[in-house]
Chain A
Amino acid sequence: MKAAQPRLRALACSGLAVLLLLALLSGQWWLGDLPGRMQFDARLAPPGLDHWLGTDALGRELWARTLAGLALSFRVGLLAALLGSAIALGLALLTTLSPRLDALVRLLIDTLLSVPHLILLLLIAFALGGGLQAVVIAVATTHWPGLARVLRAELLQLRAAPYIGISRALGKSQGFILLHHFLPHALPHCLVGALLLFPHAILHEAALTFLGVGLSPSQPAIGILLADAMRYLSGGYWWLGVFPGLGLLLMVLGIERIASGLRRAL
């Protein structure tokens, strides 16, 4: 029983993750237009029974906006993490082909890692002109190098393994080895890496949006909500600032726990 426990926990974690995913993805459907509906008789209402988390300056329900923002962050994070890990996997596989390619990829990794993340994010988002697509691309481009480095080290170790040598001696082509030996080995690492990338991606998306170069102000992103809250801070409207951030923290923490649970089980 004891040996099976980490796997059991991983299973429970994955189940929980799937549930969370479904809830967030269907959020748009059951929230409807609530995040954008204005109630002019209830502007800046404090949290209470009528307005669960209070309302903002235009009388929009904060709980609905927070949930919609979380769903949006989740989508952006998911896309960025998938794209980022796909890049990382592709380039890590490329490094096994020839030493020259390896040196090139390493230079690229070192280059991207030596610019502060947020600066590179700003540059890319600026170059692409903001918006959802730009944020996803920016976050993916800045987050793949860490994962690629791990995958590359893993594959380099694997390349020295006897069974690769045997495969080669049997006359298998490089493509065959890549597809049948390296890829299956790297895939689980890549998936866990993607999950670990996920919280970072979400946090960076929110940061970028908060600074004003990310998602457009019309969308109820968490970064937008918090930037909005900044303007009403001195008036003591604390719920505007506290709840969206708390939601983001809880989501990131949850994903992070699930990811490290999965990694331990692997």
Chain B
Amino acid sequence: MRLALATLRRLLRLGLILLCVAGVSFGLMMASPVDPVDAYLGPLAAQVSPEQRELIAQRWGFDDPAPLQFGRWLQQLMSGNLGVSHVYNQPVGEVIGQRFTRSIALLGSAWLLSLLLGFTLGVMAGAKERSPLDKVISAYAYVTASTPTFWLALLGVLLFSVYLGWAPACCAGPVGVPSQDIHLATRLHHLVLPVSTLTLLGTASITLHTRARMVALMRSDIATHAFAQGATRADIAWRHGVRHASLPALTLALASLGELFGGSILIEQVFAYPGLGQATVEAGLRSDVPLLLGIALFTTLFVSIGNMLADSLYHMVDPRMRRPRKPGSIAS
């Protein structure tokens, strides 16, 4: 009962936030210098007289006050109509669906791998503070945390595709082959480089976080007691540390979905991988307003669900967290 109420409250909050995001992004689009009539006409704009333009503006209600337009847009949104993307010449919902199914392979595997790798590295580093292993892993994490995503991807292409020729440099499959004919192995081969780049970058924060938890545990009374009983460091790390640090790591990974998505935009751009990230950039560069709005709402939903899961995981698993204090984090 209590859980249901809490869930309901969360859902209401999610709805409110989505509404706010819709309002903010709609406001931004209204403020943009792109003329909606031009955007609608596309290349035909040169053949249309000013009178006709006025008619079009009247027909679509571009002269109405902004709140009225917002209300109308929201109404359409509620009935599931996201509009038509003029870059791809398809309904926005379809574009997002298609692109997301391609991106999810990249996002999902990178997410899982970075969680596993980051957690393992963090436990190994934190088990013995200031050991050579700890120094190496910490240095790695600090450096990757400051590395520009797209630069690492670029180096990956340079090294593995141009010089060594091990992995393809672009796209989700060989150029010119229809997507249903591509073999699964080929697909995976094309995914290796993007996924590993995204993974390498995603591990940094999880590693550092896990390491901090492990270091705190190793200094705690629990560890002292276990040492007194003759347990080895590896024992403590395995029996106490992994349990102690696994939940925060999972939470952090869920809460950083937004970051991961941002990374995937850049990586898809470098590898010309036809996913949602590339569609976002295309929409931004070629002023496809409906697609941009749709993607903003969709990714917000995606990220918010991640955040919600992260929050409720704590509540469900850890009874001490019934009244949680938000951990302060600067500029995630």
Known: A119-B296, A127-B28, A233-B162. A207 touches B330 (CB 8 A): no
Any B CB within 8 A of the CB of A53: no
Contact for A143 among B162, B280, B292, B331, CB less than 8 A: B331
Known: A116-B299, A150-B328, A236-B162. A111 touches B146 (CB 8 A): no
Indicate the member of A108, A123, A124, A146 with the most B CB atoms within 10 Å.
A123
- Do B155 and A119 have beta carbons less than 8 Å apart? no
Known: A114-B304, A146-B331, A196-B331. A248 touches B284 (CB 8 A): no
Q: Please name the residue on chain B nearest to A108 by beta carbon.
A: B20
Any B CB within 8 A of the CB of A74: no
- Do A115 and B303 have beta carbons less than 8 Å apart? yes
- Do A207 and B266 have beta carbons less than 8 Å apart? yes
Q: Please name the residue on chain A nearest to B328 by beta carbon.
A: A150
Contact for A147 among B143, B300, B330, CB less than 8 A: B330
Cα-based distance from A149 to B332 in the complex (angstroms): 11
Any B CB within 8 A of the CB of A185: no
Contact for B296 among A115, A150, A238, CB less than 8 A: A115
| Smallest CB separation, B234 vs chain A (Å) | 30
- Do B148 and A203 have beta carbons less than 8 Å apart? yes
Chain A residues within an 8 Å CB radius of B158: 233, 238, 241-242
The binding surface of chain A is classed by DSSP as: helix
- Do B259 and A117 have beta carbons less than 8 Å apart? yes
Contact for A211 among B29, B269, B292, B295, CB less than 8 A: B269
| Smallest CB separation, A53 vs chain B (Å) | 15
Chain B 138-172 interface mask (CB, 8 Å, partner A; 1/0) = 00001101111111001101100011000001000
Stretch of A15-23, A26-34, A35-43, A249-257 that contacts chain B: A249-257
17 A-B pairs within 8 Å (CB atoms) are namely: A110-B13, A115-B303, A116-B262, A118-B262, A118-B265, A119-B280, A123-B29, A123-B284, A123-B292, A128-B31, A146-B329, A149-B328, A150-B329, A196-B330, A197-B330, A249-B143, A249-B147
B residues whose Cβ falls under 8 Å from a Cβ of A? 13, 16-17, 20-21, 24-25, 28-29, 31-33, 142-143, 145-151, 154-155, 157-158, 162-163, 169, 257-259, 261-262, 265-266, 269-270, 280-281, 284-285, 287, 292, 295-296, 299-300, 303-304, 307, 326, 328-332
**With A111-B20, A236-B163, A248-B148 already in contact, 9 other A-B pairs whose C-beta atoms are closer than 8 Å:** A111-B21, A114-B17, A116-B261, A119-B265, A122-B292, A147-B330, A226-B150, A241-B154, A256-B146
Question: 10 tightest CB-CB pairs across the interface, nearest first?
Answer: A245-B151, A118-B262, A116-B258, A127-B28, A111-B20, A127-B32, A252-B146, A150-B328, A146-B331, A253-B146
